[in-house]
Structure 1
Amino acid sequence: MASALLGIDIGATKITAGLLLPNGQVVLRHTLLTEMHKGKNAVIENLLAAISTYPRASYQRIGIGIIGSVDWRRGISHTADKLPPQWHNVPLARIVSRKFHKRVALGNDANAFALGVALRDGKRYHTVVGLTLGSGVGAGLVIGRKLYHGDQGWVAEIGHTTIDASSTVRCSCGHRGHLDVLAGGWGMVRMYAQKSGKQRSTYEIQERLPYDRSAKYIYRVMVRSLGIGLANIIAVYGPSYIGVGGGLTRIPGLIRDGIKEMHSRRRGLPVTRTSVKRINDPEETNIRGAALLTDPIHHLTF
């Protein structure tokens, strides 16, 4: 497996890794807890431990997708609300490269997801968007099988588009009414607390959907926001395929109802043939996309 690529996904709760073979198969998956609460050094040590489970001779290069803002040109992870407070401008690609003596690419996790979608589920399409619904909402854009970064390296940030300017719920960036908070997990928790006066997890809110008025209200907000977000993606990027992944896609009916809302928002506009699909194995897609970041056509390596 010396021609394999090692893909790593660093999420808020866990680090997942796997080898991407030349035939596109992801094998030897491995998972460790991220342990964000223990601080920056613990997260880095857990990342290095995850990589160390693979013999160096078994792979050529390492690709890492991580939550938050990333300078992909310099291999630096800036920060994110889910990362430890002391996590600022961490040269993660160089840290890993010096430890394992391998070329390393670092990118945002949503970009890695989009790349994984485009080169597997959406490989028949020219323009593909990968949309992640987790603690927040992220997205990446792939055009002609190449990850699109834009001039500033900050593109397809659909989570930070305004869906409802009258909303009282603030995004992690400080602005009101962003898709990130109106269709994301942590926003789901905040909206429920505002509506009911009680603190519940995303799982608890989901379980209460059949009978809880506050939970039903939150669901309607999320469906409406997701539908508007999808319609905006089509209006701006005109993709042929949108792959949706992340933990919130497990909420029964959310994607189906979001697509219905999307169609209602596009009545009277030119007909588009955009296929919107839920990705069945987003973890594998994240690993695949992270590994593919090491291809020079998409990213720089260190």
Structure 2
Amino acid sequence: MHAITIPQPGGPEVLTWAKVADPVPAEGEVLVEVAATAVNRADLLQRQGFYPPPPGAPEYLGLECSGRIAALGPGVSGWAVGDEVCALLAGGGYAELVAVPVGQLLPIPRGLGLVAAAALPEVAATVWSNVFMVAHLRAGETVLLHGGASGIGTMAIQLAKAVGATVVVTAGSEKKLARCKELGADVLVNYREQDFVQAVGEATGGHGADVVLDIMGAKYLSRNVDALAVSGRLVIIGLQGGRSAELDLGTLLAKRAAVVATSLRPRPLAEKAAIVAAVREHVWPLVESGVVKPVIDRVLPLAEAGEAHRALEAGEQVGKVVLQA
């Protein structure tokens, strides 16, 4: 098969379309012929040499894909060769073939094509596991979403609105905020011009955000805690703003609040399977009814993965950048 390889860590220009060995599905895996994949920030870090795949995962980039089952490994039931699927991956999506643990497979939602479905698994699993399984966002609560125009942000807006929450988003341009509003965001904060802590306080009458989903890490830590409501939950899923910061535990204690940091890629197979099952149960019906839609900024050929990485690094996109095989 062919795959995007990384001969040496570096910029987008190092990504190389090359012939490599075909994967072979192991016990409990299926082989998927990739129709499309999508770009995530973890891919950029891996390309730079900062985020190696977990042990046993494919060495190639790509944390999600869509396609058709080409072969079944030993012990697999419930799926057949030719089934159209999408999947959460620990790696390997930037390729023509990928072996996938059966617990990480999802059917293509009714009414959605293969290319659009490639934009769903990673963001749906990330948002559902963190905002709902960890932070337990409920109807009537307020959630603050940083990076509202990102792939994760655009999915989180839609799912939070679907359960009846009030959504506050941050983004760095009026164009991105306008798109967030179209998706249902209630309060729009341009982080270049506004203080999001003040904006949350004003929007909630001083109550604060019950849930904060954060991609920035250290840079926003103290202000995120300031923005929390009593019994609020801060979930950190990214470190774009650094990994080390001071935390005033007195403020946290006074608010009886929780700070949780999670990652999805290195989790054990059983935990990923449980998350994927929850996504199928709770998110897929919303996609099939049209309440939640994949937000795709652009679709590029897989061989042009470098251009897709440049777009993501420049912060040009709203939603996902998809690579079509």
Same fold (TM over 0.5): no
Higher relative contact order (CA 8 A, sep 6+): 1
Structure holding more strand per residue: 2
Structure holding more helix per residue: 1
TM-score by length of structure 1 reads 0.38
